Amino acid sequence: MYVVFEGVDCVGKSTQISLLKECFKEAVFTAEPGGTKLGTHLRELLLHKPYQLDKKTELLLFLADRAQHYEEVLKANQDKLIISDRSFISGMAYAKDFENEELFRLNAFALENFFPQKVIFLKGDKNLIKERLSQKEQDAIEKRGIGYFLSVQDKLENTLQFLKEKINLQVLTLNANDTKENLHQKIKDFLR
């Protein structure tokens, strides 16, 4: 089973994934971008932008990472439980200037139509995201501010709705303001 965590920065995805590592020791844990050597380099390039990239170039770099991630990680482990910190769903939401149909086709190509079966969507309110963002050193994307994250969060929700009509996708939407223990229990129940 291929499971992905989705949500903007600072909603607790990493915390919940760390807790799952104790419960699912045989699972393959990965991340997008950055789940491969190429992905690590592309992530660094995209988050710390030594030069200005246009939106199409940025999208194509993320797709290159996704295709490599599929070949190296997803395809090789498709008979195991795979838990990923983000996926093509985030890629679609962050690529706000492109149409969903076009993004879906490009991602289907990069992933050879291998899509997650389950999505855990952690949704935070403005105060939670703002507070957690203020507590960390920010990369180029995080410096775009709270308004940007709230619009991406809305786009994530819309993207998930769009994808439910395209692929067989179970989505668990959780309030990231809940305690980490409650969230962890709900996530474990969803995965069983």
84 vs 138, higher pLDDT: 84
Starting from the edge strand earliest in sequence, which strands make up the sheet with 28-31, in order?
28-31, 82-85, 2-6, 118-123, 170-175
Say if residues 49 and 91 touch (Cβ distance below 8 Å).
no
Provide the 3-class DSSP secondary structure of residue 78. Answer: coil
Which 8-state DSSP code applies to residue 74?
Answer: I
Percent of the chain with pLDDT over 90: 71
Residue 10, marked binder:
yes
Q: pLDDT tens, 142-157?
A: 566 788 889 999 999 9
5 vs 144, higher pLDDT: 5
Residue 18, marked binder:
no
Q: pLDDT tens, 10-21?
A: 899 999 999 999
Omega before residue 116 within 30° of 0, cis? no
Q: What is the dihedral of CA 174, 175, 177, 183, to 10 degrees?
A: -20
Taking the chain, what is the end-to-end CA distance rounded to the nearest angstrom? Answer: 11
Residue 38 to residue 33: CA distance in whole angstroms: 9
Residue 34, marked binder:
no
Residue 14, marked binder:
yes
* Fold that domain 2-32+78-191 belongs to in CATH: Rossmann fold (3.40.50)
Give the pLDDT confidence score for residue 51 in this predicted structure. Answer: 76
Range among 74-88, 89-103, 128-142 with highest mean pLDDT value: 74-88
Indicate the pLDDT class of residue 92, thresholds 50, 70 and 90: very high
Determine the average pLDDT of the residues in 64-74. 96
Residue 7, marked binder:
yes
Give the pLDDT confidence score for residue 140 in this predicted structure. Answer: 52
Q: Which residue has the tokens 């660094």?
A: 44
> SS3 sequence, 16-47?
HHHHHHHHCCCCEEEECCCCCHHHHHHHHHHH
